[in-house]
Structure 1
Amino acid sequence: MAAEFDLVGVVENGRDMVEAARGLQPDAIVADITMPLLNGIEALELLRKEGIETPVVFLTMHREVDYAITALEAGAAGYVLKHSAPDELVRAVHVVLGGGTFVSPSLAGELFQATRARSREHGEAAVALSVRQHDILRLLADGKSAKEIAKALDISSRTVEFHKYKIMESFGLKNGAELIHFAIKRGIARP
């Protein structure tokens, strides 16, 4: 890849990614979803709010379709699974530089099916979990307290409660049992 593209910067967290994008103005950004301080999707959302339209390709280990949907809804131009790299990554960068969207073929069919299924579900067509909400829901379903989740994700307990409330409100869930059932139904937690 080095011969084909010029690497203009490397960052270690989501906040630095936003700063680098502002300063370096790259033609494309390759990022991970799981980054400290600000995850990749949150960093992408911040870039879009600032009007920075640099195409972002996520190179990630997250094979779950919900992550891909959330990334694409946030404005990602590509979603490449790490086990597929480097060939797919090079193709993805070429596609997004040409104005297209690229998703790892091994995930594309599943993504299409999930998108169709979502559009059929009552009231859920326009609602997707953010990566942070997905992580919090998974940990809640694993029986963790808000305090334990806050410590694990390096956020406040209040932020955990806020996300829990937003998930319940968005999907019409009335209590913790419905929340756990929802997590199992979505494949976020095991029964």
Structure 2
Amino acid sequence: MTIRVIIADDESLMRSGLKLLLGAATDIEVIAEAADGVEAIDLARRLSPDLVLMDIRMPRLDGLEAAQTLLSDPEHPQVLMLTAFGTDDFIHRALQSGAAGYILKDTPPEELINAVRAAADGTRTLSATALATLMSSRPPASAPGQDPLASLSTREREIAEAVAQGMTNAQVARSLFVSTATVKTHLARIFDKLEVTSRVQLALLVNSHR
């Protein structure tokens, strides 16, 4: 199935580069481009894409506000934030808005394409730099106690560790020689055991207990 994408960025050169890059993937089609948040919302509501690749800093309406508006619609596309700004405030605001991920503009092409695929599938993803920023802004851990990951089986721990490294479900499946469905099943159990609700929360928990 082809992933239909709208690119929202106020720089025409960046939009052209992203369109060329994503167009090289046989399963991704860029169906429109927007130069600001208002245009991104209008195009998304008219064209019903699978995903909007959204810059944060744009005129008229910034990407965070545009994402929040779109994601409040009953039927909405996934939104993947793509930005040059890796500050913890931007990342937290993006994730709180319901964005499917946060990727920096210096992300390698293959990683960006994989992030688009993962986000379109509803999988939250963070670039390694964004995850490191979240980790550095996390308050110091409290006094050592029981390892919360101790409740996980060996396989579940392997999958949790892989997610903490920023791997998508498909990448985890390939590395462990299992199906993507199996990875999803294990993740559901991991989320339940650790009482987390997203891959980002899981990654933070794993990284804070290494």
TM-score interval for Structure 1 and Structure 2 normalised by the shorter chain: 0.5 to 0.7
Q: Could you tell me which residue of structure 1 aligns to residue 11 of structure 2?
A: none
Task: Report the Cα distance in structure 2 between the residues aligned to 1:119 and 1:74, rounded to whole angstroms.
Answer: 26
Query: What are the Cα deviations for residues 76-121 of structure 1, in whole angstroms up to 9, with x where unaligned?
Result: 101111111422211111111222111001221331443x42999x
Q: Could you tell me which residue of structure 2 aligns to residue 117 of structure 1?
A: 139
**Deviation (angstroms), 1:54:** 1.1
Task: Report the Cα distance in structure 1 between the residues aligned to 2:135 and 2:123, rounded to whole angstroms.
Answer: 17
Where does the alignment leave 5 or more consecutive residues of structure 1 unmatched? 121-191
Equivalent position SS for 2:31: coil
- Give the RMSD, CA atoms, in angstroms: 2.0
**Deviation (angstroms), 1:34:** 0.5
Q: Could you tell me which residue of structure 1 aligns to residue 50 of structure 2?
A: 27
In the alignment of these two chains, the number of paired residues is 119
Moved over 3 A (4+): none
Alignment pair present for 1:61 and 2:74: no
Q: Could you tell me which residue of structure 2 aligns to residue 166 of structure 1?
A: none
Which amino acid in structure 2 is aligned with residue 88 of structure 1? E
Alignment of 1:19-168 (within 5 A): 19-114=42-137, 116-117=138-139
Task: Report the Cα distance in structure 2 between the residues aligned to 1:72 and 1:98, rounded to whole angstroms.
Answer: 16
Which amino acid in structure 1 is aligned with residue 132 of structure 2? G
Equivalent position SS for 2:102: strand
Contact conserved, 1:80 with 1:88, CA < 8 A, in 2? Answer: no
Identity of aligned residues (%): 32
Cα gap change, 1:20 to 1:117, in 2 (>3 Å): same
**Deviation (angstroms), 1:60:** 0.3
Cα gap change, 1:21 to 1:119, in 2 (>3 Å): farther
**Deviation (angstroms), 1:49:** 2.4
Where does the alignment leave 5 or more consecutive residues of structure 2 unmatched? 1-21, 143-210
Task: Report the Cα distance in structure 1 between the residues aligned to 2:101 and 2:85, rounded to whole angstroms.
Answer: 13
Task: Report the Cα distance in structure 2 between the residues aligned to 1:51 and 1:119, rounded to whole angstroms.
Answer: 38
Q: Could you tell me which residue of structure 2 aligns to residue 2 of structure 1?
A: 23
Which amino acid in structure 1 is aligned with residue 129 of structure 2? S
Equivalent position SS for 2:82: strand
Cα gap change, 1:26 to 1:118, in 2 (>3 Å): farther
- Alignment counterpart, residue 15 of structure 1, candidates 14, 22, 38: 38
Cα gap change, 1:118 to 1:96, in 2 (>3 Å): farther
Query: What are the Cα deviations for residues 27-73 of structure 1, in whole angstroms up to 9, with x where unaligned?
Result: 11101000110000101111122224311111100011110111110
Contact conserved, 1:15 with 1:43, CA < 8 A, in 2? Answer: yes
